[in-house]
Structures are given as C-alpha cells and as structure tokens.
Chains A and B, each alone.
Chain A
C-alpha cells in the first residue's frame, strides 16, 4: 500500500484533524496520479447553520464546486455557523470534535462578496488551497444579431458589459495577472484582435492583418498566440502582447484553431486536421516541428485548454454531441467528464467554466472535475458562450 493511500485512510478515520495542514479526502489537495480518478472523488460533508437563505445558497454553490456536500450537522464532518449582523457577515468553522478552525467577521456592502470571501477562507483552512469564489470570468453574449464581451463574477453575478461595438465579437481571453482582456471584434468589417485595459477602458488593435485574426491566447510569459489567415490558410502565429515581432509557427494548407499555452509559456497546444483526422498538436514557442498529443479514447478534439498546474489538457471532443475530455498533458488515455464544450480552467486547476447547449440555446456552466458536480452560471437573457476564466 502506498503512502497516499495510507494517508487517505488515516484522514478518513478522522485522526488527522489539525486545522491547517489536513488534507481532506474528496477535496483532493494531493496530486492526482491517475486520470481515472476524475469524477470519482468523495464529497466532504459540511453543515451550514445560522445563515440567512441568500448567504446559505451562495455558500452551497461555492462549496459544492470545491467538492463538499451540504448535509445535516449530525452527519457532517465540519460545521460552518454564522450570521448576518446588519451588513456584517460572521463565520465560524469547527470540526466534528468541536475544534474551532476558523472564526472571522466580514464587513462590506455586498453580501455576495462577503460570502464568497468566507467560502474561500473555509477552503483555505481545510485544504490549504486558494479558492476561486472571488475570481471572474469573461464571455461572449449574443443580443439578437450582435454580440458583446461581458465580465462577471465566476458565478455569473454582477455582469458588466465591456464592449459596445454593436457588431460581432468573439473569443475573449484574459492576459494572466494583467487585468487585460483580449478579444476579436468585427468592428472594422473584419475579425481583428483587440486588447482592452479594464482599468482605463482604453483598447488597442493588436492584429488586423488581411483575412482572419482570431483565437487570441496569452501566456504567463507575456506572449500572444493567435490564428491568422494572411498567408492563405488559418495558421498559428505568435507575437508580443502589442502584436509586434510576429512569427508564424504552423504552415499547413488546412485550418488550425484554438491555441492555448502551457503554463511555462514554452508550448502552444492547438487543434488541427492531420491526414483528415482532427488532432491536438503542440509546437514550441520558438517554432520547429509540431508534435501530435496522443489521445486514446476521444475523437474530434478541438478547443484545448492547458491546466495552470501543467498536468492536464481539457478539450472538446465530439461523438453524438460535444463532451469535455481530459488527457494528461503529455498524452495518454482521455477521460470524458461531462456534456459540453469550450472549457476554460480556473486558476485552481480543478474547476472549469464551459458552454452547454439546450434547445438551440448556449449557456455557461461550471464544473468540478474531481467530483463532476456541475452548476449553471447566472445567465444573461441571450446566448452566452466562449467563457474565459480570469487567471
């Protein structure tokens, strides 16, 4: 029996309950060795007492996406008690043995924000992992014949319209750690790539070559990957953040699409057609030959996204319908997780925002890849798609 399994048993027996270093089974702080573990993670029972309905429902949303399940106090491993005092939120976390693990008060005007902060603190206390309840997403929302870029809390609340081009937009994506959005707008009667500084509202065109300029992706090292067709076919290019120092990386007559970056900024993974077969490929940022990422058990891969911890690539595969699939970054056996498409990882390498379709309509949902729990994001009225999780 290996050490990980031993530790898991010990933790299960409730012996390891020291507040800060405990690795809770089901919360999966330990590195996952085998891809088949996805979707089989145990849920950690936690009870919520004393909170008003709105706070309790936000906590439930946040904690379930982190691998918890809300239960009655007598069956729970942990109890989170709290109250809303005027505008102030108070939270106390204790173990089954009544050991106090966390006690904090939160002051502010927005109850949802305070509650998200509490949920992140609970997660940090129990798992040592930074939560994602206070992060944001960007996405495309269709309004009849036009579409615009929106930014919202990760659960879809507090949505803000970023563009007002009254035209088509596509493929919004964040520049990691920079507060900048990149996206495609058809404002100049052509799909061109813009960046948009959310602090100042200023935006700049970074790629408006003749033909297609789309699918921007920004690396942690500050490089822009994108798809351009100026050479006569949609190919992968790389450039600086402002579009300078353009370099072509693929040279095929077929279409390449959806580049994404390895977290170290050394590799670009993208979707391509090789010998009439759709595949995921990767190419070095410095150029050279592209290599196929072997995928066993999933066909027609598109829309890859590399996990921030570097271990997995999640992508859309297609059988009768679109499904999200995970494969180790070096290739291997793919695991189908859930029906949906266009996944984008959260900074925690555990949650994913993606698009689902129902009755011809597209909308956004969130996934916990370890427990397979799925929750819908608060929606705008039209089609919402192409989500990107801020990192």
Chain B
C-alpha cells in the first residue's frame, strides 16, 4: 500500500518535471543537405564509366583523380595487408553541432512506452566531473542476452541509491555493456536496455529520473578482452559513474 502511494507520488512528480523542464524546443541550425546525386569525395576517383556503347575498340578514359588539399597535421596512416597506405580525408571542414544536442519538441513524448521513463535531458549533465572509481565494485552483472536485474545484483544498486539520496547535487551516468557474442547493433541496443533497467530500479528506489543518464557501448568497451565465458561474464555489465558539479 505504502509502495503504491510512493509510486503514485513519483509518477505525478515525473509528469510535473517533464511538463516544466523536460522539453526544450529543438535547437535550430541544422544545415540542409547540400548537393544532389552522384557526388564523390576529395581523394576519391569518380570512376563511373561513361555508358558503354559496345563499339569495338572504344577508348575508355576514367576521369582524372581529384587532388586533395594538403592536410596541416597528417594523421597516422594504416597499412593495408597488400601494402597500400591508407590515406585519410582532410580534417573535417565543419562540424555543425547543435549545443546540448537535439531536444524533443514540447509534449513530443507520448508516454506510450509501457515502461518508458523518458531520458534525462543530456544538456543538464554537461561539464560535470566524472568519478568512475567510487562505485567500481558495484558494477551490475547480467545473464547472457538479458537485461533483467538479478536478485543478487540489487544490493549494489541500492547502495548507489543511498549515496545519491544523501548527496543531492551529484548525478549519475550508467554505462551499459555487452559481451562479444551478440551482433554489433543488437548489442548496442541491449547495452542501452541494461543501463535503462538499472536506471528504472534506481527510480523505483526514489531517485529522480532527471538525475540519471545512460550510455551504451555495446561490445566496444570490454572489461576483459578474453574470448571465454570468464571474460564474457565480466563484460555483460552496467557501470556506475558518479557525476559531480564543478566547484
């Protein structure tokens, strides 16, 4: 009964939070995509041949190579196995980043995800200091291909919840990871689902959802680089990184 009341309270609080703070309008400044079909890049030969005519002895001349502008600081090159050197593109001319990322337009989240607790606004986490060491031993481990939090792992999350309740200026980043056995993009989604499962449990324990953000690395950041069950069991995990405001 008590728990039910608490959930109700949380739900109301969450709706209030989203209604008041959650949905800033999307940053303007996205550049429309230039150009039409068939463009190729600097350093890439446009070797599309002219339409074949099948007249015997037609002479085919591919267009000449586009010369790349010189790069100020040449980044490292990587050899092909056939001895070719890999030439990098020139440094990116522009990176048009909307500050703080796209924000969903107001009221855009319909709340129709049965278990969905909307993601916290990532703009609210910018510039915070990361402490990956504090809860290093609280890393939550998962079963193969599962994002269900096992009973034995709950106390690790509860300790983090207790800490967040006493230090209200701190926030939390949860990293979701997978072992190498799934396919790559499936694992990126599964890693996110794991991080979200930990987040959902923290919210059930009374932590504001707006204090917790998640990131999935799929299988790109293994804790153990081995290729056996001992390594895999360590790699299926959710890691806690405490975020502290800059003094």
Contact = CB atoms under 8 A, between A and B. Distances in A.
Interface string A165-205: 00010110000011110000000111110011111111111
A200 B69 CA distance: 11
A170 B184 contact: yes
Interface string B2-42: 00000000000000000000000000001111111111111
B86 A150 contact: yes
A109 B86 contact: no
A257 B119 contact: no
Given A113-B47, A198-B44, A202-B31, A156 B215 contact: no
B247 interface: no
B80 A379 contact: yes
The listed residue with most A CB atoms (<10 A of its CB), out of B81, B87, B113, B184, is B184
A45 interface: no
Contacts of A147: 220
Interface in A212-246: 212, 214-215, 227, 229-235, 241-244, 246
Nearest to A105: B59
A284 interface: no
Nearest to A134: B47
Interface stretch (A26-34, A73-81, A117-125, A331-339): A117-125
A191 B215 contact: yes
B185 A215 contact: yes
A102 B193 contact: no
A230 B118 contact: yes
B167 interface: no
B166 interface: no
A380 interface: yes
A307 to B, nearest CB: 19
Interface residues of B, number: 91
Interface string B92-115: 111111100111100011101111
Contacts of A179: 35, 37-41
Contacts of B185: 170-171, 214-215, 227, 257-258, 302-303, 342, 386
A161 B41 contact: no
Nearest to A142: B220
A100 interface: yes
Given A159-B84, A203-B95, A124 B52 contact: yes
B192 interface: yes
Contacts, number: 317
B47 A116 contact: yes
Contacts of A164: 75, 88-89, 91-92
A105 to B, nearest CB: 5
B213 A210 contact: yes
A229 B44 contact: no
A13 interface: no
A199 B221 CA distance: 32
Nearest to A303: B183
A209 B220 contact: no
A84 to B, nearest CB: 14
Interface stretch (B60-68, B131-139, B153-161): B60-68
B223 interface: no
A4 interface: no
B229 interface: no
A190 B37 CA distance: 31
A257 B188 contact: yes
B216 interface: yes
A373 interface: no
A117 B115 contact: no
Given A242-B33, A256-B189, A342-B183, A378 B196 contact: no
A106 interface: yes
Contacts of A379: 80-81
A46 B107 CA distance: 64
B41 A208 contact: no
Interface stretch (A36-44, A64-72, A247-255, A290-298): A247-255
Given A199-B42, A206-B30, A386-B184, A232 B116 contact: yes
A158 B193 CA distance: 38
Contacts of A378: 80-82, 84
Contact of B113 (A117, A156, A253): A253
B78 A20 contact: no
B169 interface: no
A271 interface: yes
A201 B93 contact: yes
Given A170-B184, A234-B189, 10 more contacts: A105-B57, A106-B62, A161-B77, A179-B40, A200-B34, A208-B101, A214-B185, A232-B119, A341-B183, A378-B84
Interface of B: 30-45, 47-49, 52, 54, 56-62, 64-65, 75, 77-82, 84, 86-98, 101-104, 108-110, 112-122, 147, 180, 182-186, 188-190, 192-193, 196, 213-218, 220-221, 227
Interface of A: 19-20, 100, 102-110, 113-114, 116-117, 120-121, 124-125, 134, 136, 141, 143, 147, 150-151, 156-164, 168, 170-171, 177-180, 188-192, 195-212, 214-215, 227, 229-235, 241-244, 246, 248, 251-258, 271, 302-303, 316, 318, 322, 341-342, 355, 360, 378-382, 385-386
16 contacts: A20-B54, A117-B60, A134-B49, A150-B86, A160-B87, A170-B185, A178-B33, A198-B44, A199-B39, A200-B34, A231-B113, A252-B113, A255-B193, A302-B182, A341-B183, A380-B78
